[in-house]
Amino acid sequence: MKKFLEEFKAFALRGNVVDMAVGVVIGAAFGKVVTAVIEIFLNPILEALPKLETGGTGFAGSIISFLAVLIEFILTAFVLFMIIKAMNKAKELTKKPEPPKKVTVKTCPYCKSEINIDATRCPHCTSELK
């Protein structure tokens, strides 16, 4: 039983699981914010549009609800896209530049073939190099 608990602890505390849990919690909270914005600002605008039916909430109400959900989805996807894009840019900025590669070859001035940097004679054309 002790080994089982240790394995579970190792699984639960791995970076991917914790990152996913944080993402789900933040996503749920963000969804509530978007829903509030839709209900407070967008629904009144959609409801002010001319009704498709004189009855009020029938078919027109369904269309308004559908439009609100559709706009909520598009806004959520757009904001998540912008957040991920910003995170990728930040990750790119914090990346350390690779050290310059050490030059190990040079070009023979006579035959234009690549040779070892320490060579004093070209192995291809046998010219002496400076």
Angle in degrees, 0-180, between the axes of helices 59-94 and 15-37, rounded to the nearest 10? 140
For 25-80, write each residue's pLDDT tens digit.
888 888 888 778 778 887 787 777 665 544 455 666 677 778 877 887 888 788 77
Using pLDDT thresholds of 50, 70 and 90, give the confidence band for residue 9: confident
Look at residue 58 in the predicted model and tell me its pLDDT.
Answer: 64
Structural domain spans, the chain: 2-94, 98-130
| Per CATH, domain 2-94 is 1.25.40.10 | no
Using pLDDT thresholds of 50, 70 and 90, give the confidence band for residue 15: low
DSSP letter, residue 110: T
The answer, as to whether pTM is greater than 0.85, is no
